[in-house]
Amino acid sequence: MMVSHTSISTEDGQAIPVEIIIKSIRSRYRISVSEKGVRLVLSRSSRSDAGKILEKHARWIRNHYAKMKDSVLEYRIADGSEIPFRGCKCLLKISSGENSIAFDSDRYTLEMQVSDPAPENLRSRLRLWYLSQSANFAKILSVRLDAVGKFDVRRIVLKDMSTRWGTCCRKRRIITLNWRLILAPDDIYEYVFYHELAHFKVPGHGREFWSWMDTILPGSSSRRSWLNKNGYALLHFLSEDRLSPERIL
């Protein structure tokens, strides 16, 4: 695999970083855009076409880069900050003391006591708290939806994923969920859980799959639209360091 770097300019002259990767792929090329820049993956036979491909898709790249830069919210992790939790804004209170975290559901306040107020320690402890909350809710959904009895799910894993909300392995009967689903409203978490369960019945994302989704979860299309509109910003919350996968079933 070969990696090189270049950039393309926005309309106001700012540089958009471009990472070019040359490796064996089935298609001629793949382009992905995030708020951090562009990744262009080229087949070995197309290695000399990078400039032409970037020029061809320049308008699309600029538009999507701008939208993604605007959609990523910068959450400040400090005393008095508001952070996302289950579709609402949660007030974060930080004080000095023994390491502990307690959530007050009546005031929708998360109270953290820390012996080390360093930003990286705050973010690390907060990330682990979110993971535990996400695991608890996934267990509740697993029982509510009878994932084991109706769908023969053998394992549920929470994972730190940068681009996906969930995946499934039909052969091994494993569902993998992004722990950041706990940032979204409960019905969105439920939708993604149902989505992965549905793949055990209908593979792919064809008409049959979406029809089956509407049967088992009426109104699923509106939840899908919510995730498409709001999900990108949530995917980048506390994304500086990735957590190891945690098996919950």
**pLDDT for 92:** 97
**pLDDT for 81:** 94
- State CA 214 to chain mean position distance: 23
**pLDDT for 244:** 54
**pLDDT for 243:** 53
The token duo for 74 is 């910068």
Domains belonging to the chain, first-starting first, are 2-71 (no CATH), 82-247 (3.30.2010.10)
Beta strands in the chain, from DSSP E residues, in sequence order: 2-9, 15-22, 29-34, 37-42, 82-85, 88-96, 100-104, 109-114, 155-159, 166-169, 174-178, 246-247
**pLDDT for 246:** 54
Q: Look up the pTM and report it.
A: 0.77
**pLDDT for 233:** 84
Do you know the residue count of the chain?
249
Q: Chunked in runs of 10, what are the mean pLDDT values of the chain (249 residues)?
A: 87 89 87 86 86 92 82 80 96 95 96 94 94 96 93 94 91 96 97 95 92 91 92 84 54
**pLDDT for 240:** 66
